[in-house]
């Protein structure tokens, strides 16, 4: 009989993938005010992976806990996570003012928070997105595994269970690599792992009744000190648009000007 899974899925609220990000006027960050936000796409994959594990049934999944740390609006992505199938969620609230003053949590701070949650909630599997699409750090999962002393399998494109061992396929240059690792462990997800489901209306309704706990960083006794400093954020140089010529003569003239002929 294999161990039942108690899964933690951290989710991040980020600028919607389809929105074109703009640098703010002070050039210190990306403009977030009035911009559509959604769940980090990699985190959607993590939720989907967890829900599919439960649907498969072996090993049994006792509980899927979603967690988000950030401003009050993070509740939206937690509701989405629960509508997709997470059982309950924790919102570690960081006020907008605090984010403004100190900046967002850094990967190490998040990893420490997650470690504390894992211990408190007795988790034996953490599934995270391999990175968030806003800061692209790709660090939290690895740091968490390090802090916990657990095995890690990053960028998973396939997850299979063999007793208490988990076999994870990851895409590497020129092929795939398969890792086998015992529970407890940390898995980070990659794009090919699955195709996340839509939140269905009945499940959206049900999600409203699911438990959503509000907590703070202090509740977990986490040092969230910032160690990184953003000096400047700039847009990549604008693409030089091509020119149009009226006719063949125009083109020949242009090419001569440029010394091409």
Indicate whether 57 belongs to the interface with another protein (CB under 8 A).
no
Residue 31 sits in the site that holds another protein (CB under 8 A): no
Build a one-symbol-per-residue string for 176-205: x at contacts with another protein by CB under 8 A, - elsewhere.
--------------xxxxxxx-xxxxx-xx
Residue 243, both tokens: 């020119």
C-alpha span between 130 and 191 (Å, rounded)? 9
C-alpha–C-alpha distance, residues 112 and 212, integer Å:
21
Sole binder of another protein in the list 55, 136, 223, 234 (CB under 8 A): 136
Among 246, 257, 260, 261, binds another protein (CB under 8 A): 246
Which of 102, 157, 158, 181 binds another protein (CB under 8 A)? It is 157
β pairing state of 165-172 and 151-162: antiparallel
Q: What is the 3 state secondary structure string of 201-218?
A: HHHHHHHHHCCEEEECHH
In whole angstroms, how close is the CB of 97 to another protein at the nearest point? 20
> Smallest gap, in angstroms, from Cβ of residue 55 to another protein?
12
Task: Restricting to residues 77-106, name those near another protein by CB under 8 A.
Answer: 80, 83
When asked if residue 152 is in the footprint of another protein (CB under 8 A), the reply is no
Are 126 and 187 in contact, with CB atoms under 8 Å apart?
yes
DSSP 8-state secondary structure symbol assigned to residue 47? H
Residue with tokens 């000096």: 231
- Number of shown-chain residues binding another protein (CB under 8 A): 41
The rounded distance, in Å, linking the Cα atoms of 151 and 142 is: 9
- Is residue 29 involved in binding another protein (CB under 8 A)? no
Using DSSP's 3-state secondary structure scheme, residue 139 falls into: coil
Residues of this chain that bind another protein (CB under 8 A): 15-21, 34, 36, 38-39, 41-42, 45, 80, 83, 130-131, 133-134, 136, 157, 171, 190-196, 198-202, 204-205, 246-249
């Amino acid at each position: 009989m294999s161990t039942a899974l108690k899964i933690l899925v951290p989710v991040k609220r980020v600028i919607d993938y389809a929105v074109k990000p703009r640098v703010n006027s002070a050039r210190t960050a990306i403009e977030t005010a009035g911009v559509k936000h959604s769940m980090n796409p990699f985190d959607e994959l993590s939720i989907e992976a967890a829900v599919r594990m439960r649907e498969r049934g072996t090993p049994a999944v006792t509980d899927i806990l979603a967690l988000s740390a950030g401003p009050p609006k993070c509740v939206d992505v937690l509701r989405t996570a629960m509508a997709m199938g997470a059982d309950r969620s924790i919102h570690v609230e960081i006020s907008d003012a605090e984010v403004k003053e100190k900046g967002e949590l850094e990967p190490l701070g998040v990893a420490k928070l997650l470690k504390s949650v894992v211990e408190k909630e007795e988790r034996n599997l953490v599934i995270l997105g391999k990175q968030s699409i806003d800061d692209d750090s790709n660090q939290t999962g690895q740091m968490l595994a390090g802090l916990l002393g657990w095995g890690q399998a990053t960028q998973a494109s396939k997850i299979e269970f063999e007793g208490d061992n988990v076999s994870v396929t990851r895409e590497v240059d020129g092929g795939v690599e398969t890792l086998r690792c015992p529970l407890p462990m940390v898995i980070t997800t990659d794009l090919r792992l699955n195709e996340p489901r839509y939140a269905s209306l009945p499940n959206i309704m049900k999600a409203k009744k699911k438990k959503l706990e509000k907590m703070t960083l202090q509740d977990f006794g986490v040092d969230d000190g910032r160690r990184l400093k953003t000096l400047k954020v700039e847009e990549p140089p604008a693409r030089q648009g091509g020119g149009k010529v009226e006719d063949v003569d125009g083109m020949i003239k242009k090419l001569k000007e440029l010394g091409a002929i």
